[in-house]
Amino acid sequence: MNNFPLRGCKGGYYEGGVRGIGLIHGVGLAKTGIVNNEMHHVNDWMPTLLSAAAAATAGDPRAKHTLRLGAGEPPFLMGDGIDNWEMFATGSPSKRQEMIHVTQAAGSVLQAEALRVGDLKLLWHPAGTDCSVQHPGWYPPPGL
């Protein structure tokens, strides 16, 4: 896969290795036909989709806005995700301003560490710890 002009590859922490593409479609979108470059983490999908479902059924008296669990199951916890439904629905800024891409436990054989805050990224990525073994992380445009 080629993510030109972004640097990096799958398994790396440069932008070419952490950005993804997706598509959202539905009646709850007030603003459509846009490209969204805001920050969204995989952990944010659960609260975001729950919020979208609640918004879609808000006027439906049959809709139940509670998550039902089986007998004896522990309470449902949202985790570290952020509800970004407004960002997708209206094109407003993301509620997420920071993201830990990777961190390692003491004594780990893995070495990369990466933290992003806003437009800045702090990256400790020793050479040879990802796809940089085969190349410096820059892929040329397709066809070159």
Q: How confident is the model at residue 128 (pLDDT cuts 50, 70, 90)?
A: low
Cis upstream peptide for 74 (omega within 30°): no
pLDDT tens for 51-99 read 888 877 766 554 544 555 667 777 667 678 899 999 999 999 999 999 9
Q: Give the predicted TM-score (pTM) of the model.
A: 0.73
Cis upstream peptide for 5 (omega within 30°): yes
Amino acid symbol at 61: P
Could you give phi then psi for residue 121, rounded to 5 degrees?
-130, 130
pLDDT for residue 82: 92
Amino acid symbol at 11: G
2, pLDDT greater than 90: no
Percent of the chain with pLDDT over 70: 75
Could you give phi then psi for residue 120, rounded to 5 degrees?
-105, 145
Least confidently predicted of 5-14, 21-30, 72-81, 135-144: 135-144
- Select from 56, 28, 48, 57 the least CA-distant residue to 94: 48
- Summary mean pLDDT of the chain: 79
Cβ–Cβ under 8 Å, residues 88 and 39: no
pLDDT for residue 65: 47
Which of the pair, 62 or 12, is modelled with greater confidence? 12
31, pLDDT greater than 90: no
